[in-house]
Structures are given as structure tokens and as C-alpha cells.
Amino acid sequence: MMDAGALMLLAFLGQQFEQRGFIENRTVAYPQTAPNDSAHVVDEMLLREEASYKFTPWFTLSGAFDARTDSHRQTARDGVVDADDRSILRPALSLRRLSATVHKGKVTAEIGRQFIRWGKTDILNPTDRFAPKDYLSSVVDSDFLGVTAARFTVESGGNTVDLVWQPWFTPSRTPLLNQRWTALPAEAAGLPLRDAGAVYPGGSQYGARWNHVGSGYEYSLCFFDGRQNLPSFDAIFTPPDFSIQFTRTYPQLRLYGGDAAVPLPWLTIKGEAAYFTSSTPGAEEYALYVIQLERQVKEWSLVAGYAGSVVTRDVASPLQFAPDRGFAKSFVGRAGFTIDANRSLAMETAVRADGSFVRFEYSQLYGQHWRATGGVAWIRGDMTDFLGEYRRNSYASLAIRYSF
């Protein structure tokens, strides 16, 4: 039998260690085929494990690990553990997070692979530059990727200063050229396509954000210097088969932005805006902004607003992948309804002049561990519109998750 000291040590260790995870199978069915994709059904399997250990009241180590596969060749078929998300395919095994956090008084420092989110608005966050996304299997339903960075946060009164240094670049992951979420220009129709990968820039990225909380309002100002995590594509015709070779490049980017929130008795007003400049030849310069209203009514959560853009240097190219700008010039909305402790409904929409997107989801918890989430997405519009070019990609989905 264990003595009292051993039991106390085990109890102490148990209090300091936290673990959770899930296994999820998600099936997506597309009624229509696309010009570059004849599949009607895609199935994905994901295992995610997250853990943290608090060594002392001021020092915590956190980590997360993913293992995944799918039926559509979007995931690598090797056993290599990825730690930087710079691959064209999703890695089969990846270190989603591994960071150390030190908290002393008013200062918090986190170093390692982590998730950094800036901004206050929903659906579109113009100032969120340290948050690349995985768009590989859907442009309208993406997941965030972690970045390797050092982040220092200082809080004093109603002010918070956030400083971030990212030693190497992490891109957003784009859809594969031979699959339906890549909308190719008409000039490429019928020609063989070759994916030549990406040219990743060297150097580091850095940014700063100051947030102030006042009496009845909150606002922040931010600055970012680095690279656009969404790529431009260089296309080269290659004889003798006249195929097109595509290479991803990432323009230099400097951002000046801010956001604000004002709670009122009946609703909350939020705004966020950023101006993007670039020293890379052929890169556009523009501003993105969002104005939205939020209201909580019993079990209802409602968000509605407008996302806009202003171009100051117009050198538009059809070979840019820019879903953030694609959702600009849209009326956007989100509604959530909590039926009870186990069931919920959600709706999300974006409506542009020549395109629209709406998604409905129903989620239900079964017991303590199982959850089923069913959804339907409807996309329509003109081929010249960002949303309309995906009009063949309306889908129904079902996700079954076991949490542990």
C-alpha cells in the first residue's frame, strides 16, 4: 500500500495536470460535381489530444497533437510528425501546439507553437495577422493554424500591450489545384495543371497591439510587419504538353489597424479596420473594415453587420487567393439558439451583390462523451463573384465526435 506522502504527491500531480481530446469523423456530401473534381463524398477522421501541466503557479507547459486521415488525398500518407504547417497537404501527424507560459504579476510571456488572435469582430477579422487558416477542404469553413512565436503581454489598469515576434513564416493552407475549392480562371480550362509547391519567405514577422478598456467602451490599435499568409500564384506555361505550373508566393505586408466595442443597453456595437500596404511589386494596397451589431436575447445570440473594402492601389490578379477580401462588400450575419443543455442551432450567412452563402447547423450531445453535428450549406451566385464561383459546392455534412 502507498504511504500518505505518496498519495499526497499523486493528488498534487493530478491537480496540476489537465488533459482532454476527441476523435471525430466528418462526412461531407456534394450533390454536384465540379469541373476539376468529380467526387460527391469526402470523409475525414481526426484525433486531437490536448494537455497542460502547471509546474509552478507561474509556469505552465501546454501541448496539442493531431493525427488525421481522409478519403480525398488531402492528407499526407507518411509517418512524419510535422511541427510548422508549411506543407501543401495536411500532415498525417502534427504538433498543433507546444508552448511554455510564464506569468508574473502584470507580465505574461508565451514562447513556442501557439495560437494568437487579434480583433473583436466576427466572420471577418482584418487585424488578425498572426492567425493563418487551413482552407484546404473548404473556403467557407476553415480552421486556424498555430504559429511559432514569442508573445509578451503587459497589463496595467485598463491597458494591455501585446508584443509578438514570429521567427519564421507560417502560411495559410490553400485548396489543392485538382479539387473543387480551387476556382481556376477560364484560361486554364482543359490544360494540364502542375502544383510546383511554394516559395516560403525568409525573415521574421513582428507586431504590437495596445488595448484600452474604458468606462463603457473598449478600443485597440495595432501594427504588423511581415508577409501576407494568403498566397499569390505565379503561373508558367511549360512545353511540350503546354501544361501550367503554379507556384505560391507570399508578398510583403505591413498593416495599420484598430478595433472598438461599445456596449449599449440593447446591443453592442463593434468595429474593426486595417490598412494593408506592400513593397512587393504587383501587390495591391487596400483597406478592410467591419461594422457589426450584437445582441443576446435569452437563448438567442445574434450578430449582423457589413464588411467592406477600399482599394488604394489596384493591380488585381486572377491568380490571388484571398478569401478574406472575398467576404468583403458583404452583409454578414450569425445567429445561435441554445435549445437546452444538450442541443443547439446555428446559422451563418454572407450576402454580396452577385453571390450568397448560408449555412445551418444542428448539434446534439448524447450522454457525456458523444456529440453529433449535422449541417447544410447553400452557395449561389455569378461565376465572376467570389462566392458565386463556388456555386457547385453546396453541401450537407455530418460530424460524429467522441470526447475524452
pLDDT tens profile 87-137: 999 999 999 999 999 999 999 999 999 999 999 998 799 999 999 999 999
Place of cell 506543407: 87
315 domain residue, yes or no: yes
d(CA 388, CA 357): 9
Number of structural domains the chain divides into: 1
Closest C-alpha to 168, from 200, 127, 132, 212: 200
48 domain residue, yes or no: no
Q: Count Cα neighbours of 147 within 13 Å in the Cβ-side half-sphere.
A: 27
Q: What would the grid cell of residue 271 be? A: 468595429
CATH label of the domain that carries residue 218? 2.40.160
CB 353 within 8 A of CB 329: yes
394 domain residue, yes or no: yes
d(CA 361, CA 210): 36
Place of cell 504579476: 105
CB atoms within 10 A of CB 33: 12
360 domain residue, yes or no: yes
d(CA 89, CA 105): 42
137 domain residue, yes or no: yes
**What mean pLDDT is reported for the chain?**
93
85 domain residue, yes or no: no
d(CA 394, CA 40): 11
The structure's pTM equals: 0.91
Dihedral Cα 123, 125, 131, 135, nearest 10 deg: 40
49 domain residue, yes or no: no
Q: What would the grid cell of residue 357 be? A: 452563402
Closest C-alpha to 389, from 107, 183, 153: 183
- Per-residue model confidence as pLDDT tens for the chain (404 residues): 556 665 555 555 556 999 999 999 999 999 999 988 999 999 999 999 999 999 999 999 999 999 999 999 999 999 899 999 999 999 999 999 999 999 999 999 999 999 999 999 987 999 999 999 999 999 999 999 999 999 999 999 999 999 999 999 999 999 999 999 998 776 666 778 889 999 999 999 999 999 999 999 999 999 999 999 999 998 888 777 778 889 999 999 999 999 999 999 999 999 999 999 999 988 899 999 999 999 999 999 999 999 999 999 987 665 889 999 999 999 999 999 999 999 999 999 999 999 999 999 999 999 999 999 999 999 999 998 999 999 999 999 999 999 99
List Cα–Cα distances, 223 to 18, 42, 59, 64, 287, in angstroms. Answer: 35, 40, 29, 29, 14
Range of the domain at 250: 105-403
d(CA 43, CA 36): 18
93 domain residue, yes or no: no
CB 64 within 8 A of CB 97: yes
Residue 213 main-chain phi, psi, to 5 deg: -110, 115
CB atoms within 10 A of CB 352: 21
